[in-house]
Structure 1
Amino acid sequence: MDYIVCFDIGGTFIKFGLLDRNGKMIFKDKAMTPKSNLQKSLPEFLVKRVKLLQNDFQIVGIGISSCGLINHERGEVLFSNNLPGYSGMKLAEILFNQLQLPVSVENDVKSACLGEMWKGAIQGKRNVVFLTLGTGIGSTIVIDGKIVNGSHHLAGELGHTVIVSEGRPCGCGRKGCYERYAATSALVNDFIEEKKKHGEVVERISGEEIFKLVTEEDPIALSVYKKFIRFISIGLTNVVHLLNPEAIIIGGGITEHADQFIQDINIELKKEIMPIYNQGNIVYPSHLGNDAGLYGACYILLKKLNKLQV
């Protein structure tokens, strides 16, 4: 049996796994992402893992899902603000030169979207928008079964569409970006600020913990949560009217075990969109969770090897 080694490179962790050509996950693990001398330490980490697996498995390729802006045709990292020293790395070329194996490299959100199309929530759908809510908002647009990359592989940045004129400053340099109001980090920051207004200091809390407070009907959590849902729906209304997708899939840790969250978004969205667009629920949670990027990396590599019919 042929196997593919897949990596999902993030700012904190590198998840890695071994999958067969049918998309069956043989095993998975994760390790801390190197933080220094990345041009040397990161390829060394990846090569070491592949060589260890080659002792026991017939490895036919390497699939990589990565944070940052990626030129998937060249397998090159165009820019990454999460990992200093990562921008400009010709990752596919480096790994091929050391291992003589085919390598594919794609952006992590696009990889996760493809993973969901192959084995998850988007199977059988051809017009879809996929979002991940976290520190920011990652997004991918699929039209007629193909990811929209744009002329310079930069298309689909819904997180940096403005929904509030002269609003909150964003790391991209603009103000009022969607992710400053609808990312998990926005929910957390708003909750902490509201607590401060009520004389309470909260130093750290997660989106999942705020959701738990919502279910317990904590008044501050409920107030912040309702605004959060409202902002999410504003951005998704624009998506629905612009692209008319079959489905909008939301991933990220915040969506795990959060059925009510998805239901609340659908309820609010139906209030906002024009009636002709209202064909029932359109927002659904990711099925593959944090493994979606690994499945997507495998899918892309199999396509590259012509071992997957699409």
Structure 2
Amino acid sequence: MKAFAVDLGGTHITVAVVEDRQIVASQTIGQPPAAGLRPLLPLLAATLRDLSNCSTRGITDVAGIALGFCGIVDSRAGRVQSTNGKYPDAAEIDFHSWSRENFDLPLRLENDARMALMGEHYAGAAEGFQDVAMVTLGTGIGSAVMIEGKLLQGKHGQAGSLGGHVPVVLQGRACTCGGEGCAESEASGWALPRLCQSWANFPQSELAGQEINFANLFRCAASGDPIAKAIQQHCMDVWVATGVALVHAYDPELLVFGGGVMRSAEVILPYLQAHIPGRVWTPWGKVQIRSARPGNESALLGAIPMLSTSPSDVRTNVR
């Protein structure tokens, strides 16, 4: 099967042509304008057409479009329900009509973390597992859950997808969701500059004179910067707490960490593997902890299983 895949992230859009377990071609569209998603739709359609030239048959052999969105999604209705400030017009867009008008193709819409978990289950670290929780570390912190081989969605589309808003610090930093001390407000891409600026003696850090992002944070920590090392430690402890919460909430046999931050998996993964198991109560055995195998391409590879299954293949509750 061949499909168009669209990963609508918090700061960029990645589009791809995917065939079975291979990404044939992909392209990233830079930071989206504050105006929202609608002005980007013509560019998105043009990019997909350009990528389709990688196939000698154009779009005639494309099964459909799989679109992952960085917000709360009702995949059964094919609508964005809430954006939390990202692409504020997305809830008003009829993506199915857009797909039909531009390509005459069916479209499946899903939360981006759920799409990433589908990609991991199909061709990644979760292949062969039926009970999995996934955490995506990027601009925000997303999560997704699979129970007995089915994605968990819930009545309102929120089940399993708000792991980034589990409180991990009492009276912590304000979050965009309205809470305080959420994992996302303490250790995500958008929160990192605020975290650093409030850190004691941060102006003395090597990181203070650079763009504040996780790549630079981990590089400065590796070079021995004590302030960068302390901030890195704080973030990894937050991710440990997030993993513990998901294990206790959903009873997975496997916990997968993905997203752009996991480009530093050689530092992050051993820490997670060393500190999560001792903090969870799993009398049945030891939960496995892995990094996403396709890396930051998990959501794109999720296009094939998304288009191969029905929106009804989700769990609305846990018995």
TM-score of the superposed pair, with normalisation by structure 2? 0.83
Shift of residue 250 of structure 1? Answer: 0.8
Matched, 1:276 2:283: yes
Q: Per-residue deviation at 1:117?
A: 0.7
Q: Which residue of 1 aligns with 2:316?
A: none
8 Å contact kept, 1:75–1:93: no
2:190 paired with 1:178: no
| Counterpart Cα distance in 2 of 1:79 and 1:275 | 34
Query: Cα distance, 1:135 vs. partner?
Result: 2.9
Contact 2:133-2:143 within 8 A present in 1 as well? yes
Per the alignment, in what secondary structure is the counterpart of residue 250 of structure 1? Answer: strand
Total equivalences in the alignment: 302
Superimposed CA distance per residue, residues 22-62 of structure 1 (whole angstroms, 9 cap, x where no aligned partner): 23222111223653765653332343344453784223322
Tell me if structure 1 keeps the 8 A contact 2:2–2:17: yes
Kindly report which structure 2 residues correspond to 1:146-225, keeping only aligned pairs within 5 A, or say none: 146-156=150-160, 157-186=162-191, 189-194=194-199, 196=201, 199=204, 201-202=208-209, 204-225=211-232
The answer as to whether partners of 1:240 and 1:277 remain within 8 angstroms in 2 is no
Residue 166 and residue 295 in structure 1: after superposition, are their counterparts in 2 closer, same or farther (change >3 A)?
same
Q: Give secondary structure in 1 for the equivalent of 2:89.
A: coil
Matched, 1:254 2:279: no
| 1:244-272 Cα distance to aligned partner (Å, 9 max, x none) | 21111111222114223111122122332
Please list, as runs of the form range in 1=range in 2, the aligned pairs for 1:1-310 lying within 5 A after superposition. 3-20=2-19, 22-32=20-30, 35=33, 40-52=38-50, 53=52, 56-57=57-58, 58=60, 59-80=62-83, 81-156=85-160, 157-186=162-191, 189-194=194-199, 196=201, 199=204, 201-202=208-209, 204-274=211-281, 276=283, 279=286, 282-304=288-310
Q: Which amino acid aligns with 2:298?
A: A
Identify the range of structure 1 (130-139 vs 219-228) with the bigger mean alpha-carbon deviation: 219-228
5+ residue gaps in structure 1? Answer: 306-310
The answer to whether the 8 A contact 1:34-1:41 is kept is: no
Partner SS, residue 150 of structure 1: coil
Contact 1:105 1:297 (8 Å CA) reproduced:
no
Overall identity of the aligned pairs, in %: 25
Retained in 1: the 8 A contact 2:37–2:87? no
CA deviation profile, 1:102-135 (whole Å, cap 9, x unmatched) = 1111111111110111011110111111111123
Partner SS state of residue 284, structure 1: strand
> Would you say the 8 A contact 1:7–1:64 is kept in 2?
yes
CA contact (8 A) 1:79 1:88 kept: no
Q: How far apart, CA to CA, are the structure 2 residues paired with 1:85 and 1:234?
A: 33
Q: Secondary structure at the match of 1:140?
A: strand
Kept in 1: contact 2:140–2:164 (CA 8 A): yes
1:172 deviates by: 0.9
> Conserved in 1, the CA contact under 8 Å of 2:166 and 2:245?
no
User: How far off its partner does 1:298 sit?
Assistant: 2.8
**Equivalent AA in structure 2 for residue 29 of structure 1:** Q
Native 8 Å contact 1:163 1:234 kept in 2: yes
1:65-115 CA distances to partner (integer Å, 9 max, x unpaired)? 222222212322222221132222121233224432211111111111101
Q: Which range moved further: 174-183 or 287-296?
A: 174-183
Letter in 1 for 2:129: K
RMSD between aligned residues: 2.7
Shift of 1:153: 0.9
Contact 1:78 1:89 in 2 (8 A): no
Question: Letter of the aligned partner of 1:73 in structure 2?
Answer: R
Q: Which moved more, 1:242-251 or 1:27-36?
A: 27-36
